[in-house]
Structure 1
Amino acid sequence: MFTKIELKKGVNLYIRPTEQFKTISMSFRWTAKLSAKQAASRTVLSNVLQDSNEDYPKQSDLRKALDELYGSVFYMDSGKRGNSHIVSLNMECVNDEYLQTSGVFDEVLNMVSTVIFRPNLKDGKFDETIVNREKRSVMERIRSVYDDKGRYAQKRMLELMRPDHPASISSNGTEEDVQNITADSLVETYEKMLTEDAIDIYIVGDIKQDTIVEKIRTMFDFKEREISYERYENAPIEMKETRQVFEKQDMKQGKLQVGYNTPITFFHKDFPKMQVMNGILGGFAHSKLFMNVREKESMAYTINSVYSANYGILYVLAGIDAQLEEKAVTMIQEQLDAIKTGEVTDLEVDQTVALLANSIRSAFDSARGQIELFDQYKQLDENFNADKLIAEWHEVSLDDIKRMASTIQMELIYLLSGREA
């Protein structure tokens, strides 16, 4: 799918020449060990770097330059995966082959180089006005979780299941960590990111590989670096008795979260089988949870299950009347028990595999989707391609599905409800 070129130790370039798009898409990704403090600082940093730089000291200057480059798209983002925090710089521009003029791609590369190597510094530190503004922006993002009761309930569930663990650490950090960031400390974060992070560079488009490799080597001369931490959490979780936690806020609809533990994680050989099992349980509109708990019994306004393979967690999310919590949990468990005993039709399996395959194929409709997909699955296989994974889904048997369901153990029942409930 992508060709890998090691530019330096710890710095890799992934190229996918294709005539599928009339644009060239790039993504530079810096990956470091996840912690709440570093997540806060790196998220604010990505906002600050996106705002302006030495060549374009105002955000309006940068946006105008992008418009003049035939509407090139540029943005930065941050997120987490496993034990890692990832800062990404993304750029998309029209391919020179489809323009009467040339040099757009080179100008875009120059702009990316400026963003990375020549940020908007004053007296060796970031502009405090910009830093404070972006700190407020990130804190508002963190606070927004409390206004979305579904997201808040999921956050609380993960905190209760995995306290002080990558699964429950926000990719934005905490408000306190954001508040403690200074213009000086942000420079330290920037320098550490450039010199110590694992760097993956992705380029997709109708391009000549040798030419691109030479341009990237010349313009982005990162230093080699040692990558010494584990990107994924592999330690088994010691199971205890199922806990029940009820919390109340001013709200109408109850938010039920049922958390399960499973030893089948992203790197486990049975990972594709668990994906199919989860699809049958609650991953799609034909799933047992949706058809039985929501449609047949009308016990939930919304319901679905999520398989968080990076952390060995599967959880069910449901919007319910709080008084129905006990019945809802019983029905949810009944759907899982039905799968354990093999009460799964060929149609359910076929629909699940078809929808899984469709979701992965649809990612190929965009260069961004191709980059995201490969960036995730290359950890399993540097030669990853969608057909190989789809073939594995097709090979999943009913016995496999029963066995996957049997590995799941209920760990937490969490209900967020209104004060009158």
Structure 2
Amino acid sequence: MFKKVELQKGVTVYLRKTEQFKTITMSIKWKSELNEKAAAYRTVLSNVLQDSNGKYRTQSELRKALDELYGTVFYMDNGKRGHSHIVSLNMECINDEYLTTEGVFDEALQLMHTVVFSPNFVDGAFEPSVVEREKRTVIERIRSVYDDKTRYAQKRMLELMRPNHPASISSNGTEEDVRSLTREALLSTYESMLNKDEIDIYVVGDIQEEEFIEKIKSLFPFQAREVAERKSNVVQHEKGDVQQVFEKQDMKQGKLQVGYSTPITFDHPDYAKMVVTSGVLGGFAHSKLFMNVREKESMAYTINSIYSSHYGIMYVLAGIDPELEEKAVKLIGEQIDALRNGNVTQTELDQTVGLLSNSIRSAFDSARSQIEVYDQYKRLSENFTAEQLIEKWRSVTIEDVKEMASQLELEIVYLLSEREA
């Protein structure tokens, strides 16, 4: 799918030459070990780098430059995957072939070079007012989770299941760490990211591959670096040791989270089987949770299951009336028992595989999604294609679903509900 070119140890370019799009999309990804303080610092850094730089010292100047490049899209973001924290610099511009002028892509590359290597410095460090403004922005983002009760309940469940573990660490860090960030610490974070992070550079579009590689070598002369392998650290859960946690806030609808542990992770040979199992359980409108808990018993306003493969966790999320918690948990458990007993029809299995297949195929309708999907799945195979994964899903049997369901161990029941009057 992508052609791999190693520029330096730890610095790799992935190219996808295609006429599918009239644009050229590029993404530079910096990856490092995930920890809470570093996540906070790196999140602020990505905001600061996106805000302005040494050439375009205000947001309005930068927006004007992008407009002059025929509306070139530029943004930075951050996230986590497994034990890695990822900062991305993303750009999408029109291919010169579709313009009457030339050199737009080269100018867009030059702008990316400026963002990376010519930050908005004052007295040898990042511009103070920009740093403080972006710290406030990140703090607001962190606080926003408390206003979304479903996200908050999920956050609390993961903190209880996996305290001080990548599964429960926010990719934005904590408000306390953001507040403590100094200009000096931000500069150190910037230098570490450029010189120590694993770097993957992606490009999708109708490009001249060799010419592009030479431009990347010239504009982004990253030095070689050591890259530590970050493997999944799955917590082994003792059977029968189930946490029950009930918390109350000012709210209306109860938010139920039921967490299960599993030894089947993203790297496991049975990963594809567990993806299908989660889909049959609660991934779609035909799933057992939706049909039996929501539709048949009217016990949940919303319900679905999520398989967090990098951490060996599957959890069920449901919006319920708090007084129905015990019945809802019992009914959720019965749906998993049904899978363990093989009470799954071939139609349920076929519908699940069909919807999973449509989902990953539709991701390839955008260059950005192609990059994100490949960046995740290349860990399984550098020759990854959507069809390879679809074939694995198609090979899953009802017996496989039984086996995967038997690997789920109930670990926590968490309910967030309204305060008593």
TM-score by length of 1: 0.99
Matches of 2:181 and 2:146, distance apart in 1: 22
- For residues 105 and 376 of structure 1, the distance between their equivalents in structure 2, rounded to whole angstroms, comes to 26
Moved >2 Å (runs of 4+): 231-240
* Counterpart secondary structure, 1:365: coil
Counting only pairs closer than 5 Å after superposition, residues 184-199 of structure 1 correspond to structure 2 as 184-199=184-199
1:122: which partner in 2? 122
Which residue is equivalent to 2:399?
399
Provide the rounded CA distance (Å) in 2 between the counterparts of 1:357 and 1:228: 33
Q: 1:413 aligns to what?
A: 413
Amino acid at match of 1:158: L
Amino acid at match of 1:215: K
Q: Which amino acid aligns with 2:325?
A: E
Q: What is the CA distance between 1:184 and its match in structure 2? A: 1.4
**Which residue in the other structure is 2:146 paired with?**
146
8 Å contact kept, 2:237–2:411: no
* 2:107 aligned counterpart, secondary structure: helix
Deviations 1:144-189 (A, max 9, x none): 1111110000000000000000000000000000000011110000
Q: Give how far 1:238 is off.
A: 4.8
CA contact (8 A) 2:234 2:263 kept: no
Separation of aligned partners in 2, 1:310 and 1:65: 40
Q: Secondary structure at the match of 1:310?
A: helix
2:76: which partner in 1? Answer: 76
Matched, 1:55 2:55: yes
* Cα displacement (A) at 1:413: 0.2
Asked if the contact 1:33/1:229 (under 8 Å) is kept, the reply is no
The aligned counterpart of 2:390 is 390
Q: What amino acid is aligned across from residue 39 of structure 2 in structure 1?
A: A
Report if the CA contact (8 A) 2:72-2:94 is conserved. Answer: yes
Once structures 1 and 2 are overlaid, which stretch shifts more, 42-51 or 378-387? 378-387
- For these two proteins, the number of residue pairs brought into alignment is 421
- Structure 2 distance, partners of 1:235, 1:6, is 34
Aligned to 2:332: 332
Q: 1:232, CA displacement in angstroms? A: 3.0
**Cα deviations by residue, 1:381-412 (Å, 9 ceiling, x for unpaired):** 11111111000000001110100000000000
Tell me: CA distance 1:236–1:12, structure 2 relative to 1, closer, same or farther (3 Å).
farther
> Which residue is equivalent to 1:104?
104
1:198-209 paired onto structure 2 within 5 Å: 198-209=198-209
Alpha-carbon distance in 1 for matches of 2:263, 2:232: 14
Taking the aligned partners of 1:202 and 1:138, their CA distance within structure 2 comes to 26
Q: Which position in structure 2 is the counterpart of 1:296?
A: 296
Amino acid at match of 2:342: G
- Provide the rounded CA distance (Å) in 1 between the counterparts of 2:315 and 2:149: 16
1:22-421 to 2 correspondence within 5 Å?
A: 22-234=22-234, 236-239=236-239, 241-420=241-420
**Counterpart code for 2:13:** L
- Pairwise CA distance, 1:234: 4.5
Q: Is the 8 A contact 2:77 2:87 kept in 1?
A: yes
Please state whether the residue corresponding to 1:260 is helix, strand or coil: strand
Give the distance between the partners of 2:352 and 2:70, measured in 1 at CA.
41
| SS in structure 2 of the partner of residue 226 of structure 1 | coil
Structure 1 regions of 5+ residues with no counterpart? none
1:233 CA drift (Å): 2.4
Corresponding letter in the other structure for 1:281: L
Contact 1:139 / 1:175 at 8 angstroms: preserved in 2? yes
Mapped partners of 2:83, 2:235: distance in 1? 12
Give yes or no for contact 2:14–2:202 (8 Å, CA) kept in 1: yes
Name the Cα RMSD after superposition.
0.9
The TM-score, its normalising length taken from structure 2, stands at 0.99
Q: Percent identity?
A: 67
